[in-house]
A and B are shown apart, each in its own frame.
Chain A
Amino acid sequence: MRDQAGESTDCGCSGDCADSGESLARREFLRGATTVVLGGLSLSYLSVAAADINSDGQSQDGTDGSAAQETGSPVTESPAGNPPEGDILFGFLVDTGTCIGTGKCLSACRTENDVPEGNSRTWVERYVHFKDGRLQVDLVPETGYAGSGLPLIDPDEVDRSYFVPKLCNHCEDAPCTQVCPVHASFTSPEGVELVDPNRCIGCAYCVQACPYGARFINPETSSADKCTWCYHRIMRGEKPACVEACPVDARVFGRLDDPRSEINKRLAKVPASVLKEHLGTHPKLHYLGLSGDVT
C-alpha cells in the first residue's frame, strides 16, 4: 500500500492532469485506501477498548479471557472489533504470606503512572512484631531495603514479620464514588473505580471518604488521583504494572467472574479477607493471610 501511495506521489504530474483517467483512478484508490486505514484504526481502537475479552470471556485464540489477562496477551492478538458485551468483573488479590518487600511494584507503579513524589497509588507496609510485644509498622522503601540506609533490625528480637501491599480497593460500594458531587469519580463497566481529572473540581471529598487512604490530590493535575489497576494496560490485556513487576506473584490480578482464572483458583484454596470489612464497602481487593493488626 505504501508503495502504491509512493507511486502516486512520485508521478511528478501537476494540476494539468487532474482530469485524466489516471488521476481519477488514483483518487479512487486514495479514497479506498483512506477508508481502509480509517476502518482499520477504528477497529484497532475498538479492540483496545474491548481489550482481548469478548462477551463470553473467550479470546480469539480460543483461550479464556482471564488467561489472556494474566499472560499479558498483546492487543494485536485480540479479536478486533469485538467489544465485550457481557459483564466483566476484575479483581485483585494480595498474598501477604508471599510478599517479600522488594519494592519493585512501587517503582513500577510510579514510573508507569507518573505518580508525583510525595503521593502513592500503592505502597507496602512492613509489620514487625517483636518478642517483647512491640509492633513496628513502617513503609517499604521504593528502592527496596538494600542501600536504603534504614537501620537493620536484629532478627533475634523479632517474633514475626510480614509485608502488606496496599492500593485502591475498588470497592463495590465505593464511598469515594458516592460522595463525588460531579460524577468525576465513576465505576467502569468492568468494576474499576476511575477518576476523570478533567471533570474533577478538586474538592477532595473523595479523599476524605476513602477509608483506605488510597486517594490524593495530584499536585500536577490538581485533581483527585488513585490506583486504576493500570486501566490502560488491563484493557489491552496486560497486567497492572505492579503485578508484572512483582517477582514472587504476591499480587494477582484477574477476572472474578471467571471461575478458571488464577485469582479465583487462589481465592478458592484459602479463605481470603478484605480491609475494614465492617464499613461495608465490599472491596474487590482481597487479601490472603491478612493479620488482624492491619488497618
Chain B
Amino acid sequence: MEFVFPNDSHIPWSIMIVLYPYITGLVAGAFVVSALYHVFNQQVFRPVAKLALVTALCFCSCATLPLLLHLHHPLRAFNIMFTPNVRSAMAGFGFIYSLYMLLLIVEVWLVFRPDIVERAKSHTGATGFLYRVLALGDREITPGARTLDEWFIRALAIAGIPAACVLHGYVGFLFGAIKANPWWSTALMPVIFLVSAVVSGIAALLVLYLVLSRWRRVVPDAECVRALTRCLWISLVLAVSLELLEMIHMAYESGAEWHVISSLLSEKLSVSYGVIQLLLGSICPFVLLLIAMQRRIRPAVANILGGTAAVLTLVQVFAMRWNVVVGGQLFSKSFRGFVEYSVPVGGREGLVAVVIVLALPLGVLWVAAKLLPLWQHEESSDTEMVSS
C-alpha cells in the first residue's frame, strides 16, 4: 500500500505557509471588530476599536515575512507584481495585500490624526520631529477637517470589510482551487478560511485586551469582553460547522480519494485534527464561552473563562491551518502512501523562525502602543485599579 511518488518524498510548503494564512486571518478578524465599531456603530466595542485597528496593521505589516522566508528566490518576490500571470490566483496576492495594507495605513493615520498633530505641537526634539513627520505637515485640525476625517474613516472601514474578506477568502481560494489535491479542492475552502479568520481575529483581540488590561492594571470593560465573547462563540460555531460539514460531505460522498483522506485523518492527523482542532480547540471553547457569556457570571470569572477559551480558539485555528496546509501534503499524489514532516528547529523555515515571525507583530504592536494612544477612550470612562 505504501507507495509515494519520488517527488513527493518531502513537502514543498512548510510551516511558514501555515503561518501566512494564520497571520492574515488575525488581520482580517481584528479588522472586522474595528469595523463593527466604525461602520455599525457598536459602541460596546469602543474600548478595543483602536487596538483592533492597530493590531490589524501590525500583523499585516509582518504578513509577508513567512512568505519571503518560504520563497526559494525571495529576491524575485516583486516579480509577482511586475510580471503577473493574470490566470494565476497567486498573482493577485501582491495587489490585494498592497491595497489592503494601504487602506489600513490610511485608516490608522486618520483615526490617530488628532493625537499625532497634538503631539507634534507639544513634543520637542526627536520625538516631536517624528510626530511632525507622521502629521505629514498638518499642524492644525479644524472641526470641519475632523468631520471630513470621520467620513473617510467610515468609508475606509466600509471598504475594508470586503477587502479583508477578499484578502483572506483569497488565501482559502489558493488552496481550494488546487484540483490535484482532494483534501484542498472544495469550494467551501475560501469560506472556511474566512470564517476561521474572524474567529482567530476576535480571539486574538480578546486575549490581547485581557492581557494588556492586566499589564496596565485596569479592569477590562465587562460589556466589551462579553460582546467579544459572544461574537467569538457565534463565529466559532459557524467555523466549526463549516469545517465539519466539509469533512462529513467528503465522507458521505466517499469519492475515489476518500480512502486516503480517511487514513490521513485517522492516522496522520489524529492528534492535530481529532484532539487539538476538534476536542481541545472547538468543543472546550464552545462550552467555556457559553458559560462566560452568561450575565450572572462575575466579570472576573468571565474574563478567565473567555480568555482561556480565546487561547484555545487561537490554537484551534492554528491547528486548522496546519491540518489543511501540512495535512494536504502528507499523502502522495499516488494516493497510496504518506510522507513524514517534522518542523526543524533552525533554518529559514524552522521553529526559531516561527517564534520570531509570530513575536514580531507583537513587537511592532508594542512600538505602536508607545507612539499612539490606544486607550485614550478610558480617560473619560470609569476605570479602577486592580487591587492586586
The chain B residues found within 8 Å of chain A, CB to CB, are: 3, 5-9, 12-13, 70-74, 76-77, 79-80, 83-85, 87-91, 93, 174, 177-181, 329, 332-336
Interface size on A, residues (CB 8 A): 38
A99 lies within 8 A of chain B by Cβ: no
Given A179-B177, A199-B76, A202-B72, 19 new contacts (CB under 8 A): A137-B334, A139-B6, A175-B179, A179-B87, A180-B88, A181-B84, A182-B76, A182-B85, A183-B83, A201-B72, A201-B76, A201-B77, A203-B70, A208-B12, A213-B6, A213-B333, A216-B12, A223-B72, A295-B334
Cross-chain contact A216 with B93 (CB below 8 angstroms)? no
Contacts of A279 in B (CB 8 A): 179-180
Report how far A163 CA is from B178 CA in the complex, Å: 29
In the bound complex, do residue B73 and residue A120 qualify as a contact, i.e. CB atoms below 8 Å apart?
A: no
A222 on the interface (CB 8 Å rule)?
yes
- Report if A212 contacts B (CB, 8 A): yes
The answer to whether A213 and B5 touch across the interface, beta carbons within 8 angstroms, is yes
Residues of B within 8 A of A208 (CB): 12-13, 178, 180-181, 329
- Bitwise interface map of A from 208 to 228 toward B, beta carbon under 8 Å scored 1, else 0: 111111111100001100000
Residues in B with CB closer than 8 Å to A199 are 76, 79, 83
Residues from chain A with Cβ under 8 Å of B335 in the complex? 295
Query: Does A96 count as interface, using CB distance less than 8 angstroms?
Result: no
Which chain A residues lie closer than 8 Å to B73 at the CB level? Answer: 200-202, 222-223
Can you identify 30 A-B contacts, CB atoms within 8 angstroms?
Answer: A119-B6, A120-B7, A123-B6, A137-B3, A137-B336, A139-B6, A175-B180, A179-B89, A179-B177, A181-B93, A182-B76, A183-B83, A199-B79, A202-B72, A205-B88, A208-B178, A208-B180, A209-B180, A210-B180, A210-B333, A211-B333, A212-B333, A213-B332, A213-B334, A214-B7, A216-B12, A217-B72, A222-B73, A295-B334, A295-B336
A binding-site residues for B, Cβ under 8 Å: 118-120, 123, 125, 137-139, 166, 175, 178-183, 199-205, 207-217, 222-223, 279, 295
Chain A residue nearest to B7 (CB atoms) is: A216
Minimum C-beta distance from A230 to chain B (A): 18
In the complex, which residues of chain B have a beta carbon less than 8 angstroms from the beta carbon of A179?
87-90, 177-178
Q: Is A181 touching B12 in the complex (CB atoms < 8 A)?
A: no
Q: Which residue, B13, B85, B181, B332, has most C-beta atoms of chain A within 10 A?
A: B85
A47 to B91: give the CA distance in the assembly, Å.
36
Q: Which residues does chain B contribute within 8 Å of A203, judged by CB atoms?
A: 70-72, 90
Give the nearest-CB partner of B181 in chain A.
Answer: A208
Contact (Cβ within 8 A) B7 A182? no
Nearest-neighbour CB distance to chain A for B21, whole angstroms, equals 14
Least Cβ–Cβ distance between B52 and chain A, in angstroms: 31
Instruction: Tell me the smallest distance from the CB of B176 to a CB of chain A, in Å.
Output: 12
Name the distance in Å between B202's Cβ and chain A's nearest Cβ.
30
Nearest-Cβ distance from residue B7 to partner chain A, whole angstroms: 4
Q: State the Cβ distance, A151 to closest chain B Cβ, in Å.
A: 15
Instruction: Report the minimum CB–CB distance from A278 to chain B (whole Å).
Output: 8
Is there contact, CB below 8 Å, between B90 and A205?
yes
B332 contacts A181, CB within 8 Å? no
- A123 surroundings in chain B (CB, below 8 A): 5-6
Please state if B85 and A181 are interface contacts (CB–CB under 8 Å). yes
Q: CB-CB < 8 A to B181: which residues of A?
A: 208
Select one of A137, A183, A209, A216 contacting B85, CB under 8 A.
A183
Residues of B within 8 A of A181 (CB): 80, 84-85, 88, 90-91, 93
A210 / chain B contacts, CB cutoff of 8 Å? 180, 333
